Amino acid sequence: MRRVALVVGFAAALAFPTTAWPHASLEYQTPDFRQRLEVAPRQILLRFDQGVKALPDSIQVYTRDGTLVSRAARTAQDARKMLVAVPRLPRGAYTVRWHALSSDGHVVSGVYTFGVRVAAPPPTEAYGASGPTRSEHIVRWLYFAALALLIGGIGFRLVVLPRVVPPALERRFFKVAGIGAVAVIQVGIVAFILRAEDALQLPFGRLLYGNLAPVAEGTRFGKAFIAMTLGFTWVAALLFLAWLTDRRVLLWPALVLSLTLASGLSLSGHSAADRGSSWLSQLADWLHLSAAVLWVGGLVQLAACVWPLAPELRRDVFLRFARLAPALIAVLVSAGVYLSILRLPRLSDLWSAGYGQVLLVKLALVSAALAWGAFHHFIVRPRLDRTSWTRKSLVGESAIAMSILLLAAILVDSKPPPQPQSQRAVIAKPKLAPPSVSPPGASSSARSP
């Protein structure tokens, strides 16, 4: 409940801003966000655009394991600067958490990371940051559902429905797709706020004045959030123009742009950041997501729009979608199997690791959805004109598909089990250089996140 109240309050504050004196903003910092240093710094310096008041704990520097290494912070001779001395830092990653009293009375806060002779982790993995929570799982699922309503709805209108449809069906289509477009933007903002709150670990009053730049600019998630939020506003505009001008052709660029923007999730997730990731894993993840939202969105359009509003189109549209759905499911299953093999190094991870257990439940639901689809193909289709419960069956399949999206959201926010180190690579590594040229005490560098 606290997190829900936080998000609602934050959204309300953005929607109904009040007049206030400008508070201090961080202009630059030394070391910089996620900077890798070869020489350890002797102090941490923050510079603001106006004078601030430093408290003894205004800048705290932590090691990866949570050891506080900084001393008491102070304001420099220039009141806009705040600094803290640190001892000679050994090799490793460090987290800087700071807060300062602005001249307008507000407390500004932030967090960022840097590394000494290692790559710094993203701020979402800084010391003190919490992992994905149940609230984030739900928000991610809502985001996937919104993508299904938008992308799947547009794809269904262009590929499955005839060019001319009854006005009531056309209005219902635009309502459902429009809800998806608005939800993608708004739910995306909520997801960003929750991720930033996880990193900063601030109460609501201070989160309003938190410095979110490290999350927005220093993480794959943040960069993808900015690009996708701006891009989906263009999709919403194209959708609105298509409805306003009755020009169906405008839906094609909206569909292409939507599918392109959806790749931001693949470029910022496990398929792009984890060990073993490649362009092939990113492509498979994007195909997996695209096929899923096109399939689920088509089911929703068929059950919520065509069946109640266009009885004369039911048979023709059902048969068209029945020909398209197997292709989408084939892509969905093929890409999913490839990603599962890539992310689960051992078969036993399916039942021993949390990621594998969620994947098992998802596979069970996918199997149920496939069986349901086969039921529609072999049982319902020949009796389409004589059955009165087809819509209920479609609603049931849609519910199964939405449940699959929920489990996909949990998997996206979950960490796959670590890849085992190759013993052959470990044994062969010393042979790369003769002992005479190997520096004593040499150690391997940390993996970049």
pLDDT of residue 17: 43
Beta bridge partners of 46: 29, 82
DSSP notation for 34-71: T-EESS--SEEEEEESS-EE--TTSEEEEETT--B---
pLDDT confidence tier of residue 340, bands split at 50, 70 and 90:
confident
pLDDT: which is higher, 352 or 63: 63
Q: Kindly report the number of other CB atoms within 10 A of residue 268's CB atom.
A: 21
* Residue 15, pLDDT score: 43
Are 234 and 274 in contact, with CB atoms under 8 Å apart?
no
Question: Which of residues 65 and 204 earns the better pLDDT score?
Answer: 65
d(CA 278, CA 295): 26
Q: Please report the pLDDT score of residue 428 as a whole number.
A: 41
Name the region of 128 (left: φ>0; alpha: ψ -120 to 50; beta: rest).
left
pLDDT of residue 154: 97
Quick check: helix, strand or coil at residue 111? Answer: strand
Task: Give the separation between CA 265 and CA 99, rounded to whole angstroms.
Answer: 32
How far apart CA 271 and CA 342 sit, in angstroms, is 9
| pLDDT over 70 percentage in the chain | 72
- Comparing CA positions, the residue from 264, 269, 262 lying closest to residue 289 is 262
Q: What is the pLDDT of residue 435?
A: 39
**pLDDT band of 442, cuts 50, 70, 90:** very low
In 376-418, where does DSSP find H-type helix? 390-412
Higher pLDDT, 133 or 34: 34
Q: How confident is the model at residue 250 (pLDDT cuts 50, 70, 90)?
A: very high
Query: What are the CA-CA distances from residue 222 to residues 373, 384, 408 (Å)?
Result: 37, 47, 20
The residues spanned by each domain of the chain are 25-125, 134-412
Q: 332 and 286 in contact (C-beta within 8 Å)?
A: no
Mean pLDDT over residues 37-65, rounded? 93
pLDDT > 60? residue 157: yes
CATH 3.20.20.140 for domain 25-125, yes or no, is: no
Tokens representing residue 237 in the block: 């505009």
Q: What is the three-class DSSP state of 152?
A: helix
Residue 427: the pLDDT is: 37
**Sign of the torsion angle spanned by Cα atoms 408, 412, 415, 419:** positive
pLDDT exceeds cutoff 50 at 251: yes
> Could you give the 3-state DSSP secondary structure of residue 304?
helix
Here the tokens at position 298 are: 């088509």
**What DSSP letter does each residue of 208-230 carry, written as one string?**
TTB--HHHHHHSHHHHHHHHHHH
Nearest to 5 by CA among 209, 197, 186: 197
Query: In this model, does residue 253 exceed pLDDT 80?
Result: yes
Protein fold of 134-412: Formate dehydrogenase/DMSO reductase fold (1.20.1630)
Q: How many CB atoms lie within 10 A of CB 67?
A: 10
* Torsion angle in degrees (nearest 10) through CA of 254, 191, 404, 307: -50
390/26: higher pLDDT: 26
Tokens of 128: 């003190």
Tell me what pLDDT residue 258 has. Answer: 96
pLDDT digits (tens, 9 = 90+) for 323-332: 898 899 889 8
- Peptide bond preceding 31: is omega within 30 degrees of 0, i.e. cis? yes
Lowest-pLDDT range of 324-328, 408-412, 443-447: 443-447
- Mean pLDDT across 275-290: 86
Q: State yes or no: pLDDT of 142 exceeds 70.
A: yes
CA distance 402 to 237: 26
Given this model, what pLDDT does residue 137 score? 83
pTM of the model: 0.78
Least confidently predicted of 101-115, 273-287, 400-414, 426-440: 426-440
Amino acid (one-letter) located at 120: A
In this predicted model, which residue has the larger pLDDT, 343 or 52?
Answer: 52
Mean pLDDT of 297-309: 90
- Judged by average pLDDT, the poorest of 43-47, 81-85, 395-399 is 395-399
> Mean pLDDT, to the nearest integer, of 376-389?
58
Instruction: Indicate whether 151 pLDDT > 80.
Output: yes
Classified as helix, coil or strand, 410 is helix
Choose the weakest-confidence range: 168-172, 217-221, 235-239, 376-380: 376-380
pLDDT computed for residue 73 by the predictor: 93
Cα gap 257→265, rounded to integer Å = 14
Q: What's the pLDDT score for residue 273? A: 66
Q: Give the lowest-confidence range in 139-148, 151-160, 317-326, 438-447.
A: 438-447
Q: How far apart are CA 389 and CA 392, in angstroms?
A: 5
Measured between its terminal Cα atoms, the distance across the chain in Å is: 32
pLDDT band at 30 (very low <50, low <70, confident <90, very high): very high
The rounded distance, in Å, linking the Cα atoms of 259 and 293 is 10
Q: At what angle do helices 251-267 and 279-301 cross, to 10 degrees?
A: 130
Residue 227 pLDDT > 90, yes or no?
Answer: yes
Name beta bridge partners: 62. 68, 95
- Label residue 429 by pLDDT band (50, 70, 90): very low
pLDDT at 180 over 50: yes
Burial (CB count within 10 angstroms: exposed 0-12, middle 13-18, buried 19+), residue 273? middle
Q: How far is residue 195's CA from residue 192's CA, in Å, rounded to a whole number?
A: 5
Closest C-alpha among 127, 132, 265 to residue 195: 132
Quickly list DSSP for 183-196: HHHHHHHHHHHHHH
Average pLDDT value for residue range 34-61: 93
Of the candidates 385, 383, 408, 178, the one whose C-alpha atom is nearest the C-alpha of residue 296 is 408
| pLDDT at res. 437 | 35
What mean pLDDT, rounded, does the chain reach?
A: 80
Q: What is the mean pLDDT of residues 87-103?
A: 92
